[in-house]
Amino acid sequence: MKTVLLIFGTRPEGIKLASLINKLKQRDDLRTITCITSQHKRLLHQVVEYFKIPIDYNLDVMIENQTLDYITQMTIAKLERIFDDVHPDLTVVQGDATSSLVGAISSFYHKVPVAHIEAGLRTNDKNYPFPEEINRRLITQIANFHFAPTKKSVENLLSEHIPKEQIFLVGNTTIDAQLSTLKYLSEKEDFYNSMFKNINFEKKILLVTCHRRENFGKPFEEICNTLMHLAKKFNDIEIVFPVHLNPNIRKVAFSLLKSSKIHLLEPLDYPALLFLMKKSYLILTDSGGLQEEAPTLGKPVLVLREKTERVESVELGISKVVGTKRENIINWTEKLLLEQESYEQMAKVCFPYGDGTASDKIYNKILELLL
């Protein structure tokens, strides 16, 4: 019997792999093994619990304030035993996290083919995002099969001389997870309204998330000071900020963001975050996943990064890269709060990242490759 090994370690990876894993696990003629690194322990386990993802191995590498060196070192050492135990015929990794890179490297060392989901995203600047841009470029060099989410991603891979027969345009699996969860939320509206009863949804909700390493330090401090300015200036807004567990984010956020209009929340499970996205007027984020999900809900996004690899929504005019400078964030936020025409131009429902069938396409291709 052929064996497929899926390696992942962060919350976004769990969300994006959940549907595929559960489909593969249902087959009796294919052995499907899941290995989590727990690079993001608590956040990942929220996703595992919600999507009911069966886990076979947990490397449990996370420690407080971990470094990239530590994650890489510990993960690759522990994966050696997994490959010796499992002897997979195919390894699947997703996206650009350190767990994905190390999973691909370890698979290569054990001469196992690698399938890369969400392949081909590029900013073409190795420092933005850091370290994800280099992670995904390296995974591309290792991978045998590249599941690209958009035509632009396919073009990027072809420009890097990846053989076209190894590239498959499938869409982004995050839309699969989003659409299934929106159906779940439609039955749970009262529950989530009561969960967030301290938030006044009659006002314009600015949903904020921030966690990227390149924003640690002064960039994030400037973002926080900007949020305080907006809270003081506008009476008809409330800012909702689920705060990442990383101490580089938490310490600064809880120190600088002190306003009755700013709600600092503990990290939310996926349905709760999606509920807040539905309720939001505007999203300010450095997250890749939220950039992908917001267009499905018709929510404008201001991207708190210098560059983004999710260029499709920028080109459609439904998201805007504003960076982390105070003046730029304020100008664009005020424009969307005060100019209805500008807001309506960005608040368009569309599906630049997929139609909800990506997991099915990847599933069928994996069966074709292995069975």
Enzyme catalytic residues: 96, 118, 132, 211, 213, 244
Q: Are 30 and 367 in contact (CB under 8 A)?
A: yes
3-state secondary structure of 144: coil
Q: How many CB atoms lie within 10 A of CB 75?
A: 24
Token pair of 53 as six digits: 């993802």
3-state secondary structure of 164: helix
3-class SS shares of the chain: helix, strand, coil, % to 5: 50, 15, 35
**254-257, long-range: CB < 8 A, 24+ apart:** 256/221, 256/224, 256/225, 256/228, 257/224, 257/227, 257/228
Amino acid, single-letter form, for residue 237: I
User: What distance in Å separates the CA atoms of residue 174 and residue 34, rounded to the nearest whole number?
Assistant: 19
Backbone angles phi, psi at 306, to 5 degrees: -80, -30
Q: Are 224 and 257 in contact (CB under 8 A)?
A: yes
Q: Render 213-269 in DSSP notation, one character per residue.
A: GGGTTHHHHHHHHHHHHHHHH-TTEEEEEEPPS-HHHHHHHHHH---TTEEEEPPPP
Backbone angles phi, psi at 147, to 5 degrees: -95, 100
